[in-house]
Structure 1
């Protein structure tokens, strides 16, 4: 997230916290401190707003992250080293331009079973690493 966005979040949160004493007081505190110092108090306010915004964003990301991680998890995890080797072979063959049919045919000739090949294709389509 960019600096300006964090400053905006920080301003909103700081303003809302100052509103505990009343909206008029919050406006007065921020507004008068900026006006009376000809903007010099922004040297204090902007870093404070950025820090508060950074904290709010960090807390939000920490809370939201576990639910996003579940979507990234592969549906069919790789069972063993043989299956990993098979998936790696299929990735390599696809990167060289071979079709699924060509890859499957070659694997059957080499002794791989249909079920193993199908599982590996599903893993590959689910972007398993």
Structure 2
């Protein structure tokens, strides 16, 4: 339920990281083969740079491989999203809990007479969180502190509290 874009990007990067390094190795091999003109020279260059430095050159190679692979994975992800393909469903992954909560929000919000057409997904998520926390007996100050610690700004929190009180 975090609205922090850095958090979402890091979470997505950690999920995609197992693919990034192998793709980066292949891509760097192809690029170096084009630049050097001989695939055997590329293998020799990579192998000798790793072996002769006792693996210290991996400090340079791994970030390069990860960066190249990550760019390819993100580019492929953007192209698939633009084409309308649900990448998460393609790999059999369930949508995250925030998405599940948002899918059920219109029912819970309609019961309490709040017009959801003018609300953003973040506002709906905040309202649902506040209601659930209040049902569990948390005070408004505690709820505000918890949301603030998780990256929500005070204006959004205040607005969500006003909407909860109205509905």
Name the TM-score, length of structure 1 as normaliser: 0.51
Q: For residue 38 of structure 1, report the CA deviation from its aligned partner.
A: 0.6
Equivalent pairs counted in the alignment come to 75
1:51 corresponds to which of 49, 67, 72: 67
* RMSD, matched Cα: 2.4
Deviations 1:65-112 (A, max 9, x none): 122259xxxxxxxxxxxxxxxx959x98xxxxxxxxxxxxxxxxxxxx
Q: Which consecutive unaligned segments of at least 5 residues does structure 2 have?
A: 1-14, 87-105, 112-167
Contact 2:19 2:73 in 1 (8 A): no
Rg larger for:
1
Name the TM-score, length of structure 2 as normaliser: 0.40
Deviations 1:1-28 (A, max 9, x none): 4423211111110011111121111101
Local SS of the residue matching 1:68: coil
Distance 1:69 1:13 in 2: 24
Distance 1:88 1:28 in 2: 62
Paired residue for 2:52?
A: 36
Q: Which consecutive unaligned segments of at least 5 residues does structure 1 have?
A: 71-86, 93-129
Contact 2:16 2:73 in 1 (8 A): no
